[in-house]
Structure 1
Amino acid sequence: MIVRFGFVAMSMQLTNASPSKTMTFKSFSGLADREAGLRRLERIAGENLHNTLRLLRHCAAHGIGVYRFSSKLIPLLTHEELRDWSPWPALSEPFADIGAFVKEKGMRVSFHPDHFCVFSTPRPEVLVSSKRDMEYHVRMLEAMGLDERAKCNIHIGGAYGDKAAAGERFVRQLGGLPDQFRSRITLENDDKTFTARETLEAAEAAQTPMVLDIHHHAVNGGGETEASLLGDLWPRIVRTWEREAELRRIRPQAGQETGAGTANKVSVGQDARPAAVMAALADAAEDSAAGQAPLPPKLHASSPKSAGDPRGHADYVETGPLVRFLRETAGSVPALDCMLEAKLKDEALFKLMDDMRALEAAGEGIRVVDGGTIEVR
């Protein structure tokens, strides 16, 4: 089984390379010239996109094929007071450059919208806000010209006093989204509320691929045994990714929308998607149709910060538990992608690869393929 590792957003090695530079709304609203303020926001977004491309080049130079974008690439875009602002034309070139590089290098990229994106909510206004946040993330992927293989990973959300009802509401409200959104979503088990089994049941009902977080499962396992995780849940998780490829083959081409919720679309930015974006999406759809193999299942891995804070993320990833899981699943799929959610980002990935080289040298059934990839034998 081939395993590619990736990291989240920031690099501990590159200097002045933040993809998340921002401006507070208080600072923006204090500016005398609103139009000048909007141009300043676009310049900040341009810097974030420039740094994102630097980070992707950094990944490629080290053989890292999996990367998660920062959700803060365009500051303040989803703010209520900036509904009339459309930065997309000004940022079309740097977005396109990022997408072209991702496709050239065959990288797997994603977003992870934060806790404001909650589709289990019982509150209509929160649902509207969640749709707006999802559209923001999807539009960025579209601006990059990336097809549905580039995903937005989310959690189910809160239980609101009735977990079963919240799970059912999540499936129903997710199902009410346009295909443009639903086709981009993956679902991950969380560390407090919805267990891996409960998340998988929702993913199956929503026909959405599931990302297994093994750290979250360790602290919110719901009494699941290792045997049931590996023998029952994992094969079903793999099947959600196989089903994703099947659905991708039969969906309409880029730019078309079907399904419930299309009439209730919430727009982020004033203009419709630019013609250049639509052309890039059409090209991406052709690329996707040419190779419809399932995406490798995706795993999230991190280690507890401490015994007193088991849910917190440590600086590095403990090799033992991760390798043990990879060995147990090695015969189930030919390939797997693993996002490391360690505090020290790429430095943690490099440390993990050093550990893998040590295992390879010791004859422990690990072969290091490149700077971010191993084969588990």
Structure 2
Amino acid sequence: MNLGYACINMTLAAQSDKITTNRGMIKRTFLDKGLDYAGSLALLNVKDLQKIIDWNVKNKITFFRVSSDVFPWASHYDLDSLPQYDKIKSVLSEIAKYVKKYNIRLTFHPGPYNVLTSPNDSVVKNTINDLKHHAEICDLLKLSFSTFNKINIHCNGVYGDKKSAMDRFCLNFETLPESVKTRLTIENDDKASMYSVKDLMYIYEKIGIPIVFDFHHHKFCDGGLSEKEALDLAVSTWPKSIRPVVHYSESKSAHESNPLIKPQAHSDYIKHLPETYGHELDIMIEAKAKELAITPFLK
């Protein structure tokens, strides 16, 4: 079992020379300053990604989710059009060597605007472009063409007919390049009207895409399954050669005894690790305190 955290290292971000991979800008600034400024921020971001991964290894963390914001406004340009592209590529190549040396598992989780279930062609087109962007970063990092380095998304829309929406997901999946298809996973939702693990099995049975089980989400959208039953199903969708990834978080509302906070909201820390029911899992801890939340549980 490996424990991981997502995107931001709170320890390094608190330093005077703030280390972060999320440098960005508003759209007006991007339009004013253009590719040169976007490239300069991206170069700083990838250099800091290298520092974060180095910190992780020194602290016995070999599972990490890379931010989707490394390249500001990436949907508006090709990466190789950035003036700093060669330097960026060189840094990512060095990270790739480090990742291979220490067997680091890097994963991605593009945002909720990625909707392969959408009936809107422009939404699907934008989704495909964003997924291709994430796959390009995977390729620059020389990551495997497998769900060991997953690109994880939600279905993100029912549109009044869940089965039809899932059928659209499957049809749109077939249009994706292999660099995306081989890495893509789907995750259960935290609203009863959305997609449970039981629902997502329909997609798995059609296109073979693994399911990432989210323990916290399951509490709000269980599809009539117990936690163990849902986890067992999700694990069964993964290739036997790849350790399944699950997500774990706890309720901020429960932690703070505050009913005004949405129960789905994630707490800063976690009180315990989830029951794995005998499965070997890599557990992504989705707590707001990031690496600080998992440090007490590292062996």
1:182 matched residue in structure 2: 181
CA displacement at 1:134 relative to structure 2? 0.3
2:27 matched residue in structure 1: 25
Aligned counterparts of 1:124 and 1:89: Cα–Cα separation in 2 = 34
Which of residues 329, 338, 341 in structure 1 aligns to 2:283?
338
Aligned counterparts of 1:64 and 1:295: Cα–Cα separation in 2 = 18
Verify: 1:303 aligned to 2:250, yes or no.
yes
Aligned counterparts of 2:95 and 2:116: Cα–Cα separation in 1 = 29
CA RMSD of aligned residues (A): 1.8
1:196 matched residue in structure 2: 197
Aligned counterparts of 1:140 and 1:156: Cα–Cα separation in 2 = 22
CA displacement at 1:170 relative to structure 2? 1.0
User: What amino acid sits opposite 2:251 in the alignment?
Assistant: P
User: What amino acid sits opposite 1:344 in the alignment?
Assistant: A
Verify: 1:4 aligned to 2:2, yes or no.
yes
Which of residues 113, 116, 123 in structure 2 aligns to 1:116?
113
Question: Over residues 109-157 of structure 1, what are the superposed CA-to-partner deviations in whole Å (9 max), with x where a residue is unaligned?
Answer: 1110001211001000111100000010000010111122312011111
Question: Mapping of 1:1-377 within 5 angstroms?
Answer: 3-14=1-12, 15=15, 16-31=18-33, 37-79=34-76, 82=77, 86-87=81-82, 88-148=85-145, 149-192=148-191, 193-226=194-227, 229-230=228-229, 233-242=230-239, 294-307=241-254, 308=259, 309-319=262-272, 322-323=273-274, 325-326=275-276, 329-330=277-278, 333=279, 335-351=280-296, 353=297, 371=298
CA displacement at 1:83 relative to structure 2? 5.8
Aligned counterparts of 1:214 and 1:202: Cα–Cα separation in 2 = 20
- The answer to whether the 8 A contact 1:42-1:90 is kept is no
Aligned counterparts of 2:79 and 2:93: Cα–Cα separation in 1 = 23
Q: 1:349 to 1:310 in 2, by over 3 A?
A: same
1:266 matched residue in structure 2: none
Aligned counterparts of 1:188 and 1:92: Cα–Cα separation in 2 = 30
- The answer to whether the 8 A contact 1:187-1:203 is kept is no
Question: Over residues 190-223 of structure 1, what are the superposed CA-to-partner deviations in whole Å (9 max), with x where a residue is unaligned?
Answer: 1121112112332232211111000000122133
Aligned counterparts of 1:85 and 1:23: Cα–Cα separation in 2 = 20
Higher relative contact order (CA 8 A, sep 6+): 1
CA displacement at 1:318 relative to structure 2? 2.8
Q: 1:85 to 1:107 in 2, by over 3 A?
A: closer
Aligned counterparts of 1:156 and 1:183: Cα–Cα separation in 2 = 17
- The answer to whether the 8 A contact 2:252-2:266 is kept is yes
State the 4+ residue runs in structure 1 displaced beyond 6 angstroms.
Answer: none
Aligned counterparts of 1:53 and 1:84: Cα–Cα separation in 2 = 19
- The answer to whether the 8 A contact 2:63-2:104 is kept is yes
CA displacement at 1:350 relative to structure 2? 1.2
Aligned counterparts of 1:58 and 1:315: Cα–Cα separation in 2 = 21
SS at match of 2:136: helix
SS at match of 1:156: coil
Aligned counterparts of 2:41 and 2:153: Cα–Cα separation in 1 = 26
Q: 1:84 to 1:66 in 2, by over 3 A?
A: closer
Q: 1:234 to 1:204 in 2, by over 3 A?
A: farther
Q: 1:28 to 1:112 in 2, by over 3 A?
A: same
How high is the TM-score relative to the length of structure 1?
A: 0.71
CA displacement at 1:175 relative to structure 2? 2.3
- The answer to whether the 8 A contact 1:209-1:237 is kept is yes
- The answer to whether the 8 A contact 2:188-2:195 is kept is yes
How high is the TM-score relative to the length of structure 2?
A: 0.89
Fraction of identical pairs, as percent: 29
- The answer to whether the 8 A contact 2:197-2:233 is kept is no
SS at match of 1:186: strand
- The answer to whether the 8 A contact 2:199-2:223 is kept is no
- The answer to whether the 8 A contact 2:131-2:180 is kept is yes
Gaps of 5+ in 2: none
CA displacement at 1:234 relative to structure 2? 3.4
Q: How many corresponding residue pairs?
A: 283
